[in-house]
Chain A
Amino acid sequence: MTAVAERAATPATTPRRASRGAGPLLSMLAWIVGLGFFFPVLWMVMTAFKTEAQAVTIPPTVIFTPTFDNFAEVFGGGVGPYLLNSLFATVASTVLVLLLGTPAAFALSLRPVKKTQDVLFFFISTKMLPVVAAIVPIYVVVNYLGALDNVWTLVVLYTAMNLPIAVWMMRSFFLEVPRELLEAASMDGASLWRSLREVVLPIISPGMAATALICMIFAWNEFFFAVNLTASRAATVPVYLVGFITSEGLYFASLCAAATVAALPVVIAGWIAQNKLVQGLSFGAVK
Protein backbone atom coordinates (compact mmCIF):
# COMPACT_ATOMS: atom_id res chain seq x y z
CA MET A 1 0.00 0.00 0.00
CA THR A 2 2.64 2.50 1.07
CA ALA A 3 4.69 1.37 -1.86
CA VAL A 4 1.86 2.44 -4.09
CA ALA A 5 1.60 5.78 -2.35
CA GLU A 6 5.33 6.33 -2.47
CA ARG A 7 5.61 5.54 -6.12
CA ALA A 8 2.54 7.55 -6.95
CA ALA A 9 3.84 10.59 -5.12
CA THR A 10 4.47 13.70 -7.17
CA PRO A 11 7.01 12.79 -9.82
CA ALA A 12 9.03 15.94 -10.17
CA THR A 13 9.86 16.73 -6.60
CA THR A 14 12.02 19.69 -6.01
CA PRO A 15 13.94 19.00 -2.86
CA ARG A 16 14.47 22.25 -1.06
CA ARG A 17 18.10 22.84 -0.58
CA ALA A 18 17.78 25.86 1.62
CA SER A 19 18.53 25.75 5.33
CA ARG A 20 19.68 22.26 6.08
CA GLY A 21 19.06 22.69 9.77
CA ALA A 22 15.31 23.02 9.31
CA GLY A 23 15.00 19.76 7.34
CA PRO A 24 14.48 17.28 10.17
CA LEU A 25 12.22 19.70 11.99
CA LEU A 26 9.99 20.13 8.93
CA SER A 27 9.87 16.38 8.42
CA MET A 28 8.82 15.95 12.00
CA LEU A 29 6.19 18.65 11.60
CA ALA A 30 4.85 16.85 8.52
CA TRP A 31 4.53 13.65 10.51
CA ILE A 32 2.78 15.46 13.35
CA VAL A 33 0.29 17.04 10.95
CA GLY A 34 -0.29 13.70 9.25
CA LEU A 35 -0.92 11.91 12.51
CA GLY A 36 -3.11 14.80 13.67
CA PHE A 37 -5.42 14.48 10.69
CA PHE A 38 -5.50 10.72 11.00
CA PHE A 39 -5.92 10.68 14.75
CA PRO A 40 -9.75 10.94 14.90
CA VAL A 41 -9.99 7.97 12.55
CA LEU A 42 -7.46 6.00 14.55
CA TRP A 43 -9.37 6.82 17.71
CA MET A 44 -12.63 5.68 16.12
CA VAL A 45 -11.12 2.34 15.13
CA MET A 46 -9.53 1.91 18.56
CA THR A 47 -12.79 2.71 20.33
CA ALA A 48 -14.53 0.14 18.14
CA PHE A 49 -12.36 -2.52 19.78
CA LYS A 50 -13.03 -1.38 23.36
CA THR A 51 -15.77 -2.37 25.75
CA GLU A 52 -18.43 0.28 26.35
CA ALA A 53 -16.96 0.94 29.80
CA GLN A 54 -13.48 1.44 28.43
CA ALA A 55 -14.82 3.74 25.72
CA VAL A 56 -16.03 6.38 28.16
CA THR A 57 -13.32 6.46 30.79
CA ILE A 58 -11.64 9.76 31.57
CA PRO A 59 -8.70 9.83 31.08
CA PRO A 60 -9.22 7.75 27.96
CA THR A 61 -8.08 4.15 27.89
CA VAL A 62 -5.12 3.74 25.61
CA ILE A 63 -3.93 0.25 26.49
CA PHE A 64 -6.61 -2.42 26.40
CA THR A 65 -7.32 -5.92 25.18
CA PRO A 66 -9.21 -5.60 21.92
CA THR A 67 -12.65 -7.13 21.80
CA PHE A 68 -14.66 -8.00 18.73
CA ASP A 69 -17.96 -7.80 20.62
CA ASN A 70 -18.97 -4.48 19.02
CA PHE A 71 -18.44 -5.76 15.52
CA ALA A 72 -20.32 -8.93 16.41
CA GLU A 73 -23.13 -6.73 17.66
CA VAL A 74 -23.15 -4.59 14.52
CA PHE A 75 -23.25 -7.58 12.22
CA GLY A 76 -25.63 -9.51 14.49
CA GLY A 77 -27.83 -6.43 14.79
CA GLY A 78 -28.61 -6.48 11.09
CA VAL A 79 -26.18 -4.25 9.22
CA GLY A 80 -26.15 -6.96 6.54
CA PRO A 81 -29.12 -5.78 4.42
CA TYR A 82 -27.85 -2.19 4.54
CA LEU A 83 -24.44 -3.28 3.32
CA LEU A 84 -26.06 -5.24 0.52
CA ASN A 85 -28.20 -2.26 -0.51
CA SER A 86 -25.16 0.02 -0.51
CA LEU A 87 -23.17 -2.50 -2.48
CA PHE A 88 -25.93 -2.97 -5.04
CA ALA A 89 -26.65 0.74 -5.48
CA THR A 90 -22.92 1.46 -5.76
CA VAL A 91 -22.04 -1.26 -8.25
CA ALA A 92 -25.16 -1.01 -10.40
CA SER A 93 -24.99 2.78 -10.69
CA THR A 94 -21.29 2.62 -11.54
CA VAL A 95 -21.90 0.07 -14.29
CA LEU A 96 -24.65 2.29 -15.70
CA VAL A 97 -22.43 5.36 -15.53
CA LEU A 98 -19.73 3.60 -17.51
CA LEU A 99 -22.22 2.28 -20.07
CA LEU A 100 -23.70 5.73 -20.66
CA GLY A 101 -20.58 7.77 -20.05
CA THR A 102 -17.99 5.99 -22.18
CA PRO A 103 -19.75 6.55 -25.53
CA ALA A 104 -20.54 10.13 -24.52
CA ALA A 105 -16.92 10.85 -23.62
CA PHE A 106 -15.90 9.29 -26.90
CA ALA A 107 -18.28 11.55 -28.82
CA LEU A 108 -16.83 14.53 -26.99
CA SER A 109 -13.19 13.72 -27.59
CA LEU A 110 -11.99 11.49 -30.41
CA ARG A 111 -14.81 12.19 -32.85
CA PRO A 112 -16.05 15.46 -31.44
CA VAL A 113 -19.58 16.59 -32.14
CA LYS A 114 -20.42 20.21 -32.80
CA LYS A 115 -20.81 22.44 -29.77
CA THR A 116 -18.64 20.19 -27.61
CA GLN A 117 -18.06 23.00 -25.19
CA ASP A 118 -21.78 23.62 -24.75
CA VAL A 119 -22.40 19.94 -24.06
CA LEU A 120 -19.58 19.78 -21.56
CA PHE A 121 -20.90 22.92 -19.92
CA PHE A 122 -24.34 21.35 -19.74
CA PHE A 123 -23.04 18.23 -18.00
CA ILE A 124 -21.05 20.12 -15.44
CA SER A 125 -23.84 22.59 -14.81
CA THR A 126 -25.89 19.76 -13.34
CA LYS A 127 -23.28 19.50 -10.59
CA MET A 128 -23.48 23.23 -9.89
CA LEU A 129 -27.14 23.29 -9.00
CA PRO A 130 -28.16 22.34 -5.48
CA VAL A 131 -29.82 18.91 -5.44
CA VAL A 132 -32.06 20.12 -2.69
CA ALA A 133 -34.05 22.17 -5.20
CA ALA A 134 -34.94 18.99 -7.07
CA ILE A 135 -35.75 16.77 -4.12
CA VAL A 136 -39.40 17.80 -3.77
CA PRO A 137 -40.48 16.86 -7.32
CA ILE A 138 -38.24 13.80 -7.24
CA TYR A 139 -39.96 12.70 -4.06
CA VAL A 140 -43.44 13.35 -5.49
CA VAL A 141 -42.69 11.51 -8.76
CA VAL A 142 -41.00 8.57 -7.04
CA ASN A 143 -43.92 8.35 -4.65
CA TYR A 144 -46.36 8.47 -7.60
CA LEU A 145 -44.48 5.65 -9.32
CA GLY A 146 -44.57 3.62 -6.13
CA ALA A 147 -40.78 3.51 -6.10
CA LEU A 148 -40.11 4.91 -2.64
CA ASP A 149 -37.86 2.68 -0.55
CA ASN A 150 -36.71 0.89 -3.69
CA VAL A 151 -33.01 0.47 -4.24
CA TRP A 152 -33.40 0.95 -8.02
CA THR A 153 -34.50 4.52 -7.36
CA LEU A 154 -31.12 5.13 -5.77
CA VAL A 155 -29.37 3.40 -8.68
CA VAL A 156 -30.98 5.80 -11.16
CA LEU A 157 -30.26 8.90 -9.06
CA TYR A 158 -26.67 7.90 -8.32
CA THR A 159 -26.13 7.32 -12.02
CA ALA A 160 -27.35 10.82 -12.77
CA MET A 161 -25.24 12.19 -9.92
CA ASN A 162 -21.99 10.62 -11.16
CA LEU A 163 -22.48 10.74 -14.91
CA PRO A 164 -21.24 14.35 -15.42
CA ILE A 165 -18.05 13.69 -13.46
CA ALA A 166 -17.48 10.46 -15.37
CA VAL A 167 -17.99 12.10 -18.77
CA TRP A 168 -15.51 14.86 -17.95
CA MET A 169 -13.00 12.47 -16.52
CA MET A 170 -13.17 9.93 -19.31
CA ARG A 171 -13.03 12.65 -21.94
CA SER A 172 -9.68 13.71 -20.55
CA PHE A 173 -8.46 10.12 -20.75
CA PHE A 174 -9.71 9.74 -24.33
CA LEU A 175 -7.84 12.90 -25.28
CA GLU A 176 -4.62 11.20 -24.22
CA VAL A 177 -5.04 8.51 -26.87
CA PRO A 178 -2.61 9.39 -29.67
CA ARG A 179 -4.48 10.31 -32.84
CA GLU A 180 -1.89 8.53 -34.97
CA LEU A 181 -2.74 5.20 -33.41
CA LEU A 182 -6.37 5.56 -34.42
CA GLU A 183 -5.47 6.71 -37.89
CA ALA A 184 -3.07 3.81 -38.34
CA ALA A 185 -5.80 1.40 -37.29
CA SER A 186 -8.29 2.81 -39.76
CA MET A 187 -5.61 2.72 -42.50
CA ASP A 188 -5.22 -0.97 -41.81
CA GLY A 189 -8.92 -1.29 -42.49
CA ALA A 190 -10.08 -1.80 -38.91
CA SER A 191 -13.70 -0.85 -38.35
CA LEU A 192 -14.49 1.85 -35.82
CA TRP A 193 -15.67 -0.79 -33.37
CA ARG A 194 -12.58 -2.88 -33.75
CA SER A 195 -10.18 0.01 -33.37
CA LEU A 196 -12.13 1.14 -30.32
CA ARG A 197 -11.94 -2.30 -28.77
CA GLU A 198 -8.37 -3.11 -29.69
CA VAL A 199 -6.66 0.28 -29.68
CA VAL A 200 -8.55 2.73 -27.52
CA LEU A 201 -9.94 0.59 -24.70
CA PRO A 202 -6.60 -0.89 -23.63
CA ILE A 203 -5.16 2.61 -23.41
CA ILE A 204 -7.97 4.13 -21.42
CA SER A 205 -8.76 1.17 -19.18
CA PRO A 206 -6.71 2.49 -16.23
CA GLY A 207 -8.62 5.75 -16.58
CA MET A 208 -11.91 3.91 -16.67
CA ALA A 209 -10.94 2.02 -13.53
CA ALA A 210 -10.20 5.32 -11.80
CA THR A 211 -13.51 6.76 -12.96
CA ALA A 212 -15.36 3.73 -11.70
CA LEU A 213 -13.65 3.99 -8.35
CA ILE A 214 -14.58 7.63 -7.87
CA CYS A 215 -18.19 6.93 -8.81
CA MET A 216 -18.23 4.11 -6.29
CA ILE A 217 -16.85 6.31 -3.53
CA PHE A 218 -19.49 8.98 -4.15
CA ALA A 219 -22.31 6.46 -4.37
CA TRP A 220 -21.25 4.64 -1.22
CA ASN A 221 -21.03 7.88 0.76
CA GLU A 222 -24.24 9.45 -0.59
CA PHE A 223 -26.73 10.37 2.09
CA PHE A 224 -29.25 12.97 0.94
CA PHE A 225 -31.24 10.85 -1.51
CA ALA A 226 -30.86 7.76 0.63
CA VAL A 227 -32.29 9.35 3.75
CA ASN A 228 -35.16 11.06 1.94
CA LEU A 229 -36.22 8.29 -0.42
CA THR A 230 -35.66 5.08 1.50
CA ALA A 231 -37.03 3.80 4.77
CA SER A 232 -36.33 0.21 5.67
CA ARG A 233 -36.09 -2.14 2.71
CA ALA A 234 -33.75 -0.08 0.52
CA ALA A 235 -31.82 1.90 3.14
CA THR A 236 -28.05 2.14 2.71
CA VAL A 237 -25.19 2.12 5.19
CA PRO A 238 -25.20 5.89 5.91
CA VAL A 239 -28.91 5.63 6.73
CA TYR A 240 -28.12 2.69 8.98
CA LEU A 241 -25.79 4.95 10.95
CA VAL A 242 -28.62 7.42 11.56
CA GLY A 243 -30.89 4.67 12.82
CA PHE A 244 -28.05 3.40 14.91
CA ILE A 245 -27.47 6.63 16.79
CA THR A 246 -31.13 7.21 17.55
CA SER A 247 -31.73 3.71 18.85
CA GLU A 248 -28.45 3.22 20.69
CA GLY A 249 -27.94 6.66 22.15
CA LEU A 250 -24.54 7.02 23.66
CA TYR A 251 -23.04 3.61 23.11
CA PHE A 252 -19.70 4.91 21.93
CA ALA A 253 -17.96 1.63 21.24
CA SER A 254 -20.66 0.05 19.10
CA LEU A 255 -21.22 3.40 17.37
CA CYS A 256 -17.52 3.46 16.45
CA ALA A 257 -17.71 -0.12 15.23
CA ALA A 258 -20.67 0.75 13.02
CA ALA A 259 -18.94 3.87 11.68
CA THR A 260 -15.80 1.85 10.99
CA VAL A 261 -17.77 -0.74 9.04
CA ALA A 262 -19.43 2.06 7.04
CA ALA A 263 -16.21 3.86 6.23
CA LEU A 264 -13.67 1.09 5.75
CA PRO A 265 -14.44 -0.08 2.18
CA VAL A 266 -14.12 3.44 0.79
CA VAL A 267 -11.04 4.29 2.81
CA ILE A 268 -9.20 1.24 1.53
CA ALA A 269 -10.30 1.88 -2.05
CA GLY A 270 -9.21 5.52 -1.77
CA TRP A 271 -5.82 4.64 -0.29
CA ILE A 272 -5.11 2.46 -3.27
CA ALA A 273 -6.16 5.11 -5.78
CA GLN A 274 -5.28 8.39 -4.10
CA ASN A 275 -3.57 9.91 -7.12
CA LYS A 276 -6.37 9.07 -9.50
CA LEU A 277 -8.72 10.59 -6.97
CA VAL A 278 -7.40 14.12 -7.44
CA GLN A 279 -7.17 13.68 -11.16
CA GLY A 280 -10.75 12.54 -11.23
CA LEU A 281 -12.12 15.18 -8.93
CA SER A 282 -10.44 17.90 -10.91
CA PHE A 283 -11.91 16.27 -14.00
CA GLY A 284 -8.52 15.50 -15.41
CA ALA A 285 -7.46 19.13 -15.63
CA VAL A 286 -4.61 18.41 -13.30
CA LYS A 287 -2.23 15.82 -14.57
Chain B
Amino acid sequence: MTTTEAPPQAAPERQTSPAAQRRDGWIRRAPLLPALIFTIIITKLPFLVTIWYSLQSWNLVRPGSQRFVGLENYATVFTDSQFRGVALNSILLTLGSVAIAMVLGLLIALLLNRAFLGRGIVRTLIITPFLITPVAGALLWKSVLFDPTYGLVNFLLSPFGAGQTDWVSTFPRAAVIIALVWQWTPFMMLLILAGLGSQPPEVLEAARMDGATGFAVFREVTLPHLQRFIELGVVLGAIYLVNTFDTIYMMTQGGPGTASANLPFYIYQRAFLGFDIGESAAMGVVTVVATIVVATLALRLIFRSFSAAEEA
Protein backbone atom coordinates (compact mmCIF):
# COMPACT_ATOMS: atom_id res chain seq x y z
CA MET B 1 0.00 0.00 0.00
CA THR B 2 1.02 3.58 -0.20
CA THR B 3 3.24 3.87 2.73
CA THR B 4 4.73 7.00 4.15
CA GLU B 5 7.83 6.46 2.05
CA ALA B 6 6.56 8.52 -0.91
CA PRO B 7 6.76 6.29 -3.95
CA PRO B 8 7.95 8.67 -6.69
CA GLN B 9 4.98 7.57 -8.75
CA ALA B 10 5.90 6.74 -12.32
CA ALA B 11 7.79 9.85 -13.27
CA PRO B 12 6.75 10.77 -16.79
CA GLU B 13 9.43 9.26 -19.02
CA ARG B 14 9.83 12.17 -21.37
CA GLN B 15 10.74 14.65 -18.63
CA THR B 16 14.22 13.46 -17.86
CA SER B 17 16.17 16.70 -18.08
CA PRO B 18 17.23 17.94 -14.62
CA ALA B 19 15.51 21.28 -15.16
CA ALA B 20 12.22 19.64 -15.97
CA GLN B 21 12.58 17.37 -12.98
CA ARG B 22 13.22 20.29 -10.76
CA ARG B 23 10.21 22.11 -12.12
CA ASP B 24 8.08 19.03 -11.58
CA GLY B 25 9.39 18.81 -8.03
CA TRP B 26 8.32 22.36 -7.30
CA ILE B 27 4.90 21.83 -8.83
CA ARG B 28 4.45 18.89 -6.53
CA ARG B 29 5.73 20.80 -3.56
CA ALA B 30 3.81 24.03 -4.14
CA PRO B 31 0.53 22.93 -2.54
CA LEU B 32 2.42 21.88 0.56
CA LEU B 33 4.38 25.05 1.10
CA PRO B 34 1.74 27.42 2.52
CA ALA B 35 0.82 24.99 5.30
CA LEU B 36 4.45 24.15 5.98
CA ILE B 37 5.64 27.75 6.15
CA PHE B 38 2.68 28.80 8.27
CA THR B 39 3.31 25.97 10.72
CA ILE B 40 7.01 26.72 10.97
CA ILE B 41 6.42 30.42 11.64
CA ILE B 42 3.66 30.03 14.20
CA THR B 43 4.78 26.92 16.05
CA LYS B 44 8.53 26.51 15.68
CA LEU B 45 9.93 30.03 15.73
CA PRO B 46 8.51 30.73 19.20
CA PHE B 47 10.53 27.80 20.54
CA LEU B 48 13.70 29.34 19.17
CA VAL B 49 12.78 32.64 20.78
CA THR B 50 12.07 30.78 24.01
CA ILE B 51 15.65 29.50 23.97
CA TRP B 52 16.92 33.06 23.50
CA TYR B 53 14.74 34.37 26.35
CA SER B 54 15.89 31.54 28.59
CA LEU B 55 19.39 33.01 28.49
CA GLN B 56 18.21 36.41 29.72
CA SER B 57 17.49 37.75 33.13
CA TRP B 58 14.22 39.49 32.43
CA ASN B 59 11.44 40.31 34.83
CA LEU B 60 8.58 42.46 33.57
CA VAL B 61 8.13 43.96 37.02
CA ARG B 62 11.55 45.60 36.74
CA PRO B 63 11.61 47.44 33.41
CA GLY B 64 15.03 47.66 31.83
CA SER B 65 16.24 44.66 33.77
CA GLN B 66 16.77 42.56 30.63
CA ARG B 67 20.32 41.32 30.24
CA PHE B 68 22.17 38.24 29.06
CA VAL B 69 22.96 35.82 31.87
CA GLY B 70 23.87 32.61 30.04
CA LEU B 71 22.76 29.47 31.80
CA GLU B 72 21.94 31.12 35.11
CA ASN B 73 18.19 30.53 34.69
CA TYR B 74 18.80 26.85 34.10
CA ALA B 75 20.80 26.61 37.30
CA THR B 76 17.89 28.23 39.12
CA VAL B 77 15.40 25.85 37.53
CA PHE B 78 17.35 22.74 38.39
CA THR B 79 17.89 23.80 41.99
CA ASP B 80 14.23 24.80 42.37
CA SER B 81 12.72 22.02 44.45
CA GLN B 82 9.25 23.26 43.53
CA PHE B 83 10.07 22.73 39.88
CA ARG B 84 11.11 19.16 40.59
CA GLY B 85 7.88 18.54 42.50
CA VAL B 86 5.86 20.00 39.69
CA ALA B 87 7.70 17.90 37.10
CA LEU B 88 6.90 14.82 39.17
CA ASN B 89 3.26 15.95 39.34
CA SER B 90 3.18 16.25 35.57
CA ILE B 91 4.33 12.67 35.22
CA LEU B 92 1.92 11.40 37.87
CA LEU B 93 -1.09 13.25 36.49
CA THR B 94 -0.39 12.22 32.90
CA LEU B 95 0.49 8.59 33.55
CA GLY B 96 -2.23 8.18 36.18
CA SER B 97 -4.98 9.60 33.99
CA VAL B 98 -3.88 7.80 30.84
CA ALA B 99 -3.49 4.42 32.57
CA ILE B 100 -6.80 4.55 34.43
CA ALA B 101 -8.69 5.91 31.43
CA MET B 102 -7.24 3.19 29.21
CA VAL B 103 -8.13 0.34 31.55
CA LEU B 104 -11.65 1.66 32.08
CA GLY B 105 -12.02 2.39 28.38
CA LEU B 106 -10.97 -1.16 27.51
CA LEU B 107 -13.42 -2.69 29.99
CA ILE B 108 -16.30 -0.51 28.83
CA ALA B 109 -15.52 -1.17 25.18
CA LEU B 110 -15.68 -4.92 25.83
CA LEU B 111 -18.97 -4.40 27.60
CA LEU B 112 -20.38 -2.44 24.68
CA ASN B 113 -19.09 -4.78 22.01
CA ARG B 114 -22.23 -6.90 22.19
CA ALA B 115 -25.57 -6.45 20.55
CA PHE B 116 -28.02 -5.18 23.15
CA LEU B 117 -31.00 -2.91 23.35
CA GLY B 118 -30.00 0.75 23.13
CA ARG B 119 -26.31 0.21 22.51
CA GLY B 120 -26.14 3.34 20.37
CA ILE B 121 -27.72 5.39 23.13
CA VAL B 122 -25.32 4.06 25.78
CA ARG B 123 -22.38 4.84 23.52
CA THR B 124 -23.65 8.36 22.99
CA LEU B 125 -24.09 8.86 26.73
CA ILE B 126 -20.53 7.72 27.44
CA ILE B 127 -18.94 9.87 24.76
CA THR B 128 -20.47 13.05 26.19
CA PRO B 129 -17.81 13.83 28.83
CA PHE B 130 -15.20 13.95 26.10
CA LEU B 131 -17.13 16.64 24.26
CA ILE B 132 -17.92 18.89 27.20
CA THR B 133 -15.74 22.01 27.16
CA PRO B 134 -12.98 21.07 29.63
CA VAL B 135 -13.43 24.34 31.51
CA ALA B 136 -17.12 23.56 31.99
CA GLY B 137 -16.28 19.99 32.96
CA ALA B 138 -13.77 21.14 35.57
CA LEU B 139 -16.28 23.63 36.99
CA LEU B 140 -18.87 20.91 37.16
CA TRP B 141 -16.59 18.63 39.16
CA LYS B 142 -15.31 21.35 41.43
CA SER B 143 -18.59 23.04 42.28
CA VAL B 144 -21.47 20.72 41.68
CA LEU B 145 -19.92 17.37 42.50
CA PHE B 146 -16.98 17.97 44.87
CA ASP B 147 -18.32 20.93 46.84
CA PRO B 148 -17.92 20.09 50.54
CA THR B 149 -21.38 21.29 51.58
CA TYR B 150 -23.66 21.03 48.59
CA GLY B 151 -21.70 18.61 46.42
CA LEU B 152 -23.35 15.51 45.13
CA VAL B 153 -20.36 13.27 45.90
CA ASN B 154 -20.54 13.92 49.61
CA PHE B 155 -24.30 13.44 49.56
CA LEU B 156 -23.98 10.09 47.81
CA LEU B 157 -21.21 9.00 50.16
CA SER B 158 -22.96 10.18 53.31
CA PRO B 159 -24.48 6.75 54.02
CA PHE B 160 -20.90 5.51 54.21
CA GLY B 161 -19.95 8.07 56.78
CA ALA B 162 -18.30 10.66 54.57
CA GLY B 163 -18.68 13.96 56.28
CA GLN B 164 -18.14 17.30 54.64
CA THR B 165 -14.89 16.36 52.99
CA ASP B 166 -13.45 19.07 50.78
CA TRP B 167 -12.22 16.70 48.10
CA VAL B 168 -10.54 19.28 45.92
CA SER B 169 -8.33 20.76 48.63
CA THR B 170 -7.77 17.53 50.57
CA PHE B 171 -6.95 15.34 47.57
CA PRO B 172 -6.18 17.86 44.83
CA ARG B 173 -4.22 15.50 42.59
CA ALA B 174 -6.77 12.72 42.87
CA ALA B 175 -9.57 15.20 42.18
CA VAL B 176 -7.85 16.41 39.02
CA ILE B 177 -7.16 12.83 37.90
CA ILE B 178 -10.80 11.87 38.43
CA ALA B 179 -11.98 14.76 36.26
CA LEU B 180 -9.43 13.90 33.57
CA VAL B 181 -10.28 10.20 33.64
CA TRP B 182 -13.98 11.05 33.32
CA GLN B 183 -13.11 13.16 30.31
CA TRP B 184 -10.71 10.74 28.57
CA THR B 185 -12.20 7.30 29.21
CA PRO B 186 -14.78 7.88 26.45
CA PHE B 187 -12.03 8.53 23.93
CA MET B 188 -10.16 5.37 24.87
CA MET B 189 -13.42 3.44 24.74
CA LEU B 190 -14.22 4.67 21.22
CA LEU B 191 -10.74 3.79 20.02
CA ILE B 192 -10.87 0.26 21.47
CA LEU B 193 -14.39 -0.20 20.18
CA ALA B 194 -13.12 0.62 16.71
CA GLY B 195 -10.37 -1.96 17.25
CA LEU B 196 -12.84 -4.61 18.33
CA GLY B 197 -15.00 -3.85 15.33
CA SER B 198 -12.09 -4.34 12.95
CA GLN B 199 -11.41 -7.81 14.30
CA PRO B 200 -12.15 -10.47 11.68
CA PRO B 201 -14.93 -12.71 13.07
CA GLU B 202 -13.47 -15.80 11.40
CA VAL B 203 -10.38 -15.67 13.58
CA LEU B 204 -12.47 -15.60 16.73
CA GLU B 205 -14.63 -18.38 15.38
CA ALA B 206 -11.58 -20.49 14.60
CA ALA B 207 -10.19 -19.92 18.08
CA ARG B 208 -13.46 -21.07 19.62
CA MET B 209 -13.55 -24.09 17.35
CA ASP B 210 -10.17 -25.02 18.71
CA GLY B 211 -11.83 -25.12 22.08
CA ALA B 212 -10.48 -21.89 23.54
CA THR B 213 -12.61 -20.43 26.30
CA GLY B 214 -13.79 -16.81 26.49
CA PHE B 215 -10.88 -15.44 28.44
CA ALA B 216 -8.26 -17.41 26.53
CA VAL B 217 -9.66 -16.07 23.26
CA PHE B 218 -9.46 -12.58 24.67
CA ARG B 219 -5.87 -12.99 25.84
CA GLU B 220 -4.51 -14.88 22.86
CA VAL B 221 -6.46 -13.32 19.99
CA THR B 222 -8.25 -10.12 20.91
CA LEU B 223 -5.61 -8.46 23.06
CA PRO B 224 -2.77 -8.82 20.52
CA HIS B 225 -5.11 -7.45 17.85
CA LEU B 226 -5.94 -4.49 20.10
CA GLN B 227 -2.30 -3.75 20.84
CA ARG B 228 -1.83 -1.00 18.31
CA PHE B 229 -5.14 0.59 19.26
CA ILE B 230 -4.06 0.60 22.88
CA GLU B 231 -0.67 2.07 21.95
CA LEU B 232 -2.32 4.74 19.87
CA GLY B 233 -4.69 5.62 22.70
CA VAL B 234 -1.87 5.84 25.22
CA VAL B 235 0.29 7.99 22.94
CA LEU B 236 -2.47 10.37 21.89
CA GLY B 237 -3.86 10.57 25.42
CA ALA B 238 -0.41 11.36 26.79
CA ILE B 239 0.20 14.07 24.16
CA TYR B 240 -2.97 15.88 25.13
CA LEU B 241 -2.91 15.20 28.85
CA VAL B 242 0.67 16.31 29.41
CA ASN B 243 -0.51 19.74 28.25
CA THR B 244 -3.45 19.83 30.65
CA PHE B 245 -4.04 23.38 31.76
CA ASP B 246 -7.75 24.17 31.89
CA THR B 247 -8.73 21.48 34.37
CA ILE B 248 -6.02 22.48 36.83
CA TYR B 249 -6.67 26.19 36.36
CA MET B 250 -10.36 25.77 37.12
CA MET B 251 -10.27 23.08 39.80
CA THR B 252 -7.28 23.73 42.02
CA GLN B 253 -5.23 26.63 40.64
CA GLY B 254 -2.35 24.24 41.12
CA GLY B 255 -2.83 24.30 44.85
CA PRO B 256 -2.70 24.00 47.69
CA GLY B 257 0.74 25.49 47.18
CA THR B 258 1.96 23.69 44.10
CA ALA B 259 0.58 20.32 45.19
CA SER B 260 -1.45 19.81 42.04
CA ALA B 261 0.40 22.05 39.58
CA ASN B 262 1.81 20.48 36.46
CA LEU B 263 4.51 22.01 34.24
CA PRO B 264 2.17 23.98 31.97
CA PHE B 265 0.42 25.51 34.95
CA TYR B 266 3.63 26.26 36.84
CA ILE B 267 5.27 27.91 33.84
CA TYR B 268 2.12 29.94 33.33
CA GLN B 269 2.32 31.06 36.96
CA ARG B 270 5.98 32.06 36.67
CA ALA B 271 5.37 33.94 33.43
CA PHE B 272 2.02 35.62 33.95
CA LEU B 273 1.80 35.98 37.69
CA GLY B 274 5.50 36.19 38.54
CA PHE B 275 6.35 38.03 35.30
CA ASP B 276 9.64 36.17 35.24
CA ILE B 277 10.16 35.80 31.49
CA GLY B 278 13.71 34.44 31.63
CA GLU B 279 13.09 31.77 34.20
CA SER B 280 9.79 30.59 32.75
CA ALA B 281 11.45 30.38 29.34
CA ALA B 282 14.18 28.19 30.81
CA MET B 283 11.50 25.94 32.32
CA GLY B 284 9.84 25.79 28.94
CA VAL B 285 13.07 24.68 27.31
CA VAL B 286 13.64 22.00 29.94
CA THR B 287 10.08 20.79 29.43
CA VAL B 288 10.53 20.68 25.68
CA VAL B 289 13.77 18.70 25.90
CA ALA B 290 12.16 16.20 28.26
CA THR B 291 9.13 15.96 26.01
CA ILE B 292 11.27 15.42 22.91
CA VAL B 293 12.94 12.46 24.57
CA VAL B 294 9.61 10.92 25.51
CA ALA B 295 7.92 11.90 22.25
CA THR B 296 10.63 10.33 20.11
CA LEU B 297 9.97 7.04 21.82
CA ALA B 298 6.23 7.59 21.46
CA LEU B 299 6.52 8.48 17.79
CA ARG B 300 8.35 5.24 17.12
CA LEU B 301 5.33 3.47 18.54
CA ILE B 302 2.89 5.57 16.59
CA PHE B 303 4.71 5.05 13.32
CA ARG B 304 4.85 1.35 13.90
CA SER B 305 1.10 1.46 14.47
CA PHE B 306 0.58 3.41 11.28
CA SER B 307 2.64 1.17 9.07
CA ALA B 308 0.86 -1.82 10.57
CA ALA B 309 -2.46 -0.12 9.87
CA GLU B 310 -1.59 0.58 6.28
CA GLU B 311 -0.33 -2.90 5.63
CA ALA B 312 -3.50 -4.37 7.01
Contact = CB atoms under 8 A, between A and B. Distances in A.
Contact of B7 (A1, A101, A112, A274): A112
Contacts of A135: 267-268, 271, 284
Contacts of A190: none
Find the residue from A6, A40, A116, A121 having the highest chain B CB count within 10 A. Answer: A40
B155 interface: yes
Contacts of A31: 118, 122
Contact of A44 (B30, B144, B303): B144
Interface in B101-144: 108, 111-137, 139-141, 143-144
B6 interface: yes
Given A6-B119, A130-B284, A266-B131, 18 more contacts: A4-B120, A9-B119, A10-B197, A31-B122, A103-B30, A120-B4, A121-B299, A129-B288, A159-B38, A221-B133, A228-B272, A255-B139, A262-B136, A266-B133, A278-B193, A278-B194, A286-B198, A286-B309
Nearest to B6: A116
Q: Which secondary structure dominates chain B's binding surface?
A: helix
Q: Which secondary structure dominates chain A's binding surface?
A: helix
Contacts of B242: 130
Contacts of A287: 194, 198, 309
28 contacts: A12-B199, A13-B114, A31-B122, A37-B126, A38-B128, A40-B141, A41-B128, A56-B149, A59-B155, A104-B32, A104-B34, A130-B287, A132-B267, A136-B53, A136-B280, A137-B281, A139-B271, A156-B42, A223-B134, A223-B245, A223-B249, A238-B136, A245-B250, A256-B140, A266-B133, A270-B131, A271-B124, A274-B124
Contacts of A112: 2, 6-9, 28
B245 to A, nearest CB: 5
A119 interface: yes
Contact of A263 (B6, B136, B143, B267): B136
A10 B113 contact: yes
Contacts of B201: 12, 14
Interface string B1-25: 0101111110000000000000001
A201 interface: no
Contacts of A141: 46, 49
B219 interface: no
A49 interface: no
A27 B125 CA distance: 15
A278 B191 contact: yes
How extensive is the interface on chain A, given as a class? 35 or more
Contact of A5 (B120, B264, B309): B120
Interface in B191-239: 191, 193-201, 204, 214, 229, 232, 236, 239
Given A104-B36, A129-B291, A113 B199 contact: no
B263 A132 contact: yes
A2 B121 CA distance: 6
B285 interface: yes
Contact of A267 (B47, B128, B200, B309): B128
A95 B278 CA distance: 36
B300 to A, nearest CB: 11
A124 interface: yes
B145 A104 contact: no
A268 B42 CA distance: 31
